[in-house]
Chain A
Amino acid sequence: MTKGQAMHDNPLRGSQPPLLHPDYRSTVLRAPMRPLIQLPASLSDVSQPVYGHLGVSAADADLTRHGPSGEPLGERIVVAGRVVDEDGRAVPGALVEVWQANAAGRYIHARDRHPAPLDPNFIGAGRCETDAEGRYRFTTIKPGAYPWRNHENAWRPAHIHFSIFGTNFLTRLVTQMYFPGDPLMAHDPILLGVPDERARRRLVSAFDFSLTTPEWALGYRFDIVVRGPGSTPFEGRT
């Protein structure tokens, strides 16, 4: 086996994006240029206990019920999965926050200028806490793709933003969930910022009949892995 093959067989290698990724233009003026300073675990506070949750109600996890006058337009879906750490242990009590565009590809955000319609019955934000087995579950609608100005004819694949906040910053993760079969993924500099194709695949949800509710909603499974105690920091994963 050559050295190159050995490196490729390390599943950490290329599993996280570098800070500077010029194809994603916004990194150019925002990525630090100097090497990060390695902090040994004995000096780091990332494992110190932190708990940032406010009350989360069950209604927060159903994004189709947040409108003032009925349900949002779009394809109703269930998105569910588990949050585990790299030792395979469930992460219970983690705050999972999601936000997304509506079915037409428009965010409710004031700075979104995409000329697609807003949906008066869709805000697009939800949250829940993982249960004792690390499970979470949302009901929402499938978001639309939308254009952005990164390059000529740039379109973001449909995605749902995820924020995971466990009981310390070691497990902190902000990421995006994509949908299987979306042709825009092959052209998206944000997803392609993750060097390893196997790692990118783990950001693509799986259509799941066991989550699909008859006569009601399609189901997508999206499992999430966060760092565990003593695990390699991010720079060793790029």
Chain B
Amino acid sequence: MSGDRSEDLVASPSQTVGPFFHFGLTTDATRGVMAMRGAPGEPVRLRVQVIDGAGEPVPDAMVELWQADARGQYGAAAQGSAGADRPFAGWGRLPTGGDGICEFTTIRPGVPATVDDAATAAHINVCLFMRGLLRHLFTRVYFAGDPALDADPVLALVPAERRETLVAQPAGDGVWMFVIHLQGDRETAFFDE
């Protein structure tokens, strides 16, 4: 399709975010707050942990999330981070800590009411950056126990034995745990999209 494109109009090559992005990209801790208290929807504290191929936590990853609001709509807020006058942002960005973990405050997304998307299960999209990744990775967080998982058309593209790598588990008090394994037996399913 793109074979006849001028090389000047080919997407610029990606390069790693490197180990020293924090002072440039993640100085604002409020970007972990995707939904304020009072935003419509079920409150979720999504704890994301990143583990490398040696089984060690990745302490220098940057995690970005985006998601629909409680009605299943994207970009409804469309104005940046959550704040007093805008309880839902739909986007977040945090660095992992020494334990490879970062925790986002958000709500469980809704599912679009449109007919053709009816089979989609609620999910949060993940974009992952780190030293050692020359390009970013995409994956998705689904919620354990959701009866819609079986009919989700994206999960259907994932080999059955790997689907659970995309399913966050409840850890009590509104906390959901999502562990990203970059390699190994439990390697998370990543998407090219």
Contacts and interface: CB of A to CB of B under 8 A. Distances in A.
A200 interface: yes
Contact of B182 (A29, A44, A235): A29
A21 B193 contact: no
Contacts, number: 243
Contacts of B58: 30
Nearest to B76: A49
Interface stretch (A71-79, A130-138, A171-179, A209-217): A171-179
A99 B14 CA distance: 16
Contacts of B90: 50
A111 B14 CA distance: 23
Contact of A45 (B20, B125, B190): B125
A94 interface: no
A186 interface: no
A233 interface: yes
Contacts of B31: 52
B120 to A, nearest CB: 8
Contacts of A109: 19-20, 22-23
Given A45-B125, A172-B127, A190-B134, A39 B25 contact: no
B125 A169 contact: yes
A67 interface: no
A41 B23 CA distance: 34
Interface in A1-48: 9-12, 15-19, 21, 24, 26-34, 36-39, 41, 43-46, 48
A118 B170 CA distance: 45
A86 B132 contact: no
A28 B81 CA distance: 35
Contacts of B28: 54
Chain B, interface SS category: loop
Interface of A, secondary structure class, is loop
A68 interface: no
A182 interface: no
B10 A199 contact: yes
Given A11-B7, A52-B80, A52-B93, A34 B12 contact: no
Nearest to A41: B193
B46 interface: no
A139 B147 CA distance: 53
Pick from A11, A87, A190, A233 the residue with the most CB of B within 10 Å.
A11
Contact of A31 (B133, B157, B193): B133
A164 B22 CA distance: 16
Contacts of B75: 48-51, 167
A124 B23 contact: yes
Nearest to A160: B24
Interface in A199-238: 199-200, 202-203, 224-227, 231-237
Given A12-B2, A86-B2, A231-B2, A33 B183 contact: yes
A123 B24 CA distance: 9
Would you list the 7 A-B pairs with minimal beta carbon distance, nearest first?
A99-B24, A49-B75, A26-B132, A30-B132, A17-B134, A48-B74, A39-B193
Interface of A: 9-12, 15-19, 21, 24, 26-34, 36-39, 41, 43-46, 48-54, 84, 86-88, 97-99, 107-109, 111-112, 123-125, 161, 163, 167, 169, 172-176, 190-191, 193-194, 198-200, 202-203, 224-227, 231-237
5 contacts: A112-B20, A161-B24, A172-B64, A172-B127, A199-B10
